[in-house]
Amino acid sequence: MYAGLMQQIAAIVAPTFFVIALGFVFGRVSQASPAILIDVVIYLATPCLVFTALLASPIVIGEAVWLWASCLLTIVGPYLLARLLFLRSRTKHSGLYLPIMFGNLINLPLPILYLAFGAEGVALAVLFYIPQGFLIYSLGVYLAAGHEGLRPGLRAMARTPLLYTAVLGVILNLAGVHLPALLNDSLEFMGQAAIPLILVVLGMTMGRVRLTHIPMSLLASALRMGGGFAFGLLAVWAFGLSGLTRSVVLFESAMPSAILTVALCTKYHNEPELVSSVVFTTTLASIGVVPVLLYFLL
């Protein structure tokens, strides 16, 4: 049984990190920009994947509310821990809060959850992501810009099709609407491209990040992954979550920092090297964390 479980975990994890490694090597060797691939992922492939995954099985609105509450808890909890630590040490940070608060809830976990739990796992992960999607493009920009970026954040959020497709998918699911088979199959076909493309983009992006400020990076990484997982455990206990919902919440809560935080802090010149280092450190740590999580969640 143990050997079978380990083989199952390896079958899920190995393809994921292999494609990330390919993207990393390709980005380093070719020096190609991932910009076009990012646009394809953001505006075409991922919205199709998310939309069809949300329509694949009925959504229970009560379950969605607890998922959203869990997501908010895993964002606010690490932020409060970081705030307390920084106040006690009398150090001032603004940009560093972003990689502590916001996890990589789409790029890394979606392919793994798809392989582990199928479309139902992806649908739950997308529901979990919705509050962060709104916050990272509003509050995230507000913090990154030194409390001057709320309007740019709202504009960026308005241009993000993933949020619209997620909301539309939830509405159609709750309304019991079924797409024609031809349209649904076409959207699924496009959505299947999202999984490898996301991983290639992740690898290419990580190839451009430098590891600096190691002590602070390690502290922030612990707050993001360890603190996030601790508040994930609190959420599943407080809200009485079980089954696949519990597994998705715990898995998502321990994810590394969102790569988007690097882009935001670079744009507003707010500790970009430190933020990049945290993203890099947490993503490396996920190579060991993900198999352990799957061992206990499968």
Instruction: List pLDDT tens digits, range 223-233.
Output: 999 999 999 99
Does residue 13 form part of some domain? no
Residue 127 lies in a domain: yes
1 within domain boundaries: no
Structure-token match 């998922």, residue found: 67
> Is residue 18 domain-resident?
no
Q: What is the pTM for the complete model shown?
A: 0.83
Top-confidence residue, 264 or 178 = 178
For residue 280, being part of any structural domain is answered with yes
Q: What range defines the domain where residue 247 resides? A: 34-297
Residue 142 has pLDDT above 90, yes or no: no
Residue 68 exposed, middle or buried by CB count within 10 Å (0-12, 13-18, 19+): middle
Would 20 be classed as within a structural domain?
A: no
- Give residue 175's pLDDT: 87
Average pLDDT of 101-125? 88
**How many Cβ atoms sit within 10 Å of the Cβ of residue 178?**
9
User: Taking all residues of the chain, what is their mean pLDDT, rounded to a whole number?
Assistant: 84
Which of 193, 47, 52 lies closest to 133 in space, CA to CA?
A: 47
User: Which has more confidence, 266 or 125?
Assistant: 125
158, 204, 194: which is closest to 35 by C-alpha?
204
- pLDDT value of position 231: 97
Residue range 58-81: mean pLDDT, rounded: 91
What pLDDT, on a 0 to 100 scale, did the predictor assign at position 4?
63
| Distance (Å, whole) CA 237 – CA 231 | 10
Predicted local distance difference test score (pLDDT) of residue 189: 92
> Distance between CA atoms of 192 and 194, rounded to whole angstroms?
5
* CA separation, residue 98 to residues 137, 180, 182 (Å): 11, 41, 41
> Does residue 170 surpass a pLDDT of 90?
no
The answer to whether residue 271 is domain-embedded is: yes
Q: How confident is the model at residue 128 (pLDDT cuts 50, 70, 90)?
A: very high
**Residue 226 confidence (pLDDT):** 95
In a domain, 11, yes or no: no
* Residue written as token pair 């696949």: 244
Checking if the pLDDT of 156 tops 60, the result is yes
**CATH number reported for the structural domain that contains residue 173 in this entry:** 1.20.1530.20
Quote the pLDDT of residue 44: 86
pLDDT value of position 257: 93
Q: Is the pLDDT of residue 101 over 80?
A: yes
Please determine, for residue 9, whether its predicted confidence score (pLDDT) is greater than 90: no
The mean pLDDT of 242-271, rounded to a whole number, is: 87
- In this prediction, residue 92 has a pLDDT band, given cuts at 50, 70 and 90, of low
Residue 83 pLDDT more than 80?
Answer: yes
d(CA 292, CA 225): 13
Residue 148 has pLDDT above 60, yes or no: no
Q: Please give the share of the chain, as a percent, with pLDDT higher than 90.
A: 28
Our count of domains for the chain comes to: 1
Pick the more confident residue, 45 or 89.
45
Q: Higher model confidence: residue 50 or residue 178?
A: 178
- pLDDT band of residue 59 (cuts 50, 70, 90) is confident
| Residues 18-57 pLDDT 10s | 888 898 899 888 878 777 887 787 788 888 887 888 887 7
> What is the reported pLDDT for 237?
96
The residue ranking higher by pLDDT, 211 or 84, is: 84
